[in-house]
Amino acid sequence: MDFDPVSGLAVLADGMGGYQAGEVASALAIGHIKTELSRWLLACGEPCNVQHIRQAAQSCVADANALILASAQANPEHAGMGTTLVMAIFRGSKLILGHVGDSRCYRLRGGALQQLTRDHSVLQEQIDAGLLTPAQAALSSDRNLVTRALGVEGAAKLEINDFPVQDDDLYLLCSDGLTDMVQDTGIAATLRQRTTLDQTAQDLVQMANQNGGRDNIAVVLVRANEANRQRHFLARLLGRP
């Protein structure tokens, strides 16, 4: 996980692969995207066309994908590694949001929680096809099977969308280590408590661990306000168990 308050870029990756190879994949993705995309965003300045930002994000993710593939080919112990990704670029009154896999972004606005990303997973495809209900999917043993990830194919399939940002929006980027263990109702109730971001993140991680904590838990919280948007400085916290 990483957040650059100057460029307004938040990046979270959740690695896959044995012998700590997943950690290598996620570190490669975060390191490259944060370095290169932050540099590009700062050089772009204001105003910066949203379409240009989308293209820059796509390019950085493609390069990160190539880095992970090259590392896996050069190191037998890294074979088969990959990572999911969710990245948020806060630019004035816009959020440019990209993701690959089942790491998610939620927005709490006016007390209502909305999932802004759609999982790239086998379960989501089954839900979309009407084969499973969301309640049935929550009990499935296949909930961690993703259909997209960085480092597993030659082409990186980044889904990217943009959203308007309003004062007091609270954004949560998280790995499935949180969402597998805590239902959306529990996440929403925790975000509504209006505690500090530090305490909110700790509460989310603690809930996931109390419910079983079967996977790494990664959390990034960003709250938007007018003064911070003008300075491209956003309150944040990165949390791990």
CB 100 within 8 A of CB 157: yes
State the pLDDT at residue 20.
77
How far is 115 from 93, CA to CA, in rounded Å? Answer: 19
Predicted local distance difference test score (pLDDT) of residue 226 = 60
**Exposed, middle or buried by CB within 10 Å (0-12, 13-18, 19+), for 151?**
buried
Splitting the chain (241 residues) into consecutive groups of 10 residues, what average pLDDT does each group show? 85 84 94 95 85 96 96 90 96 94 97 96 86 78 85 92 94 93 95 89 91 85 69 38 38
Residue 140's pLDDT is: 74
Positive or negative, the Cα torsion across 136, 139, 140, 145? positive
Domain parsing of the chain, residue ranges:
2-239
pLDDT at site 213: 80
Of the CATH numbers 3.60.40.10, 2.60.120.650, 1.10.4080.10, 3.40.50.2300, which one belongs to the domain with range 2-239? 3.60.40.10
C-alpha 221: how far from chain center: 11
Q: pLDDT (tens digit, 9 = 90+) per residue, 76-113? A: 888 889 999 999 999 888 999 999 999 999 999 999 99
d(CA 220, CA 228): 17
pLDDT of residue 34: 94
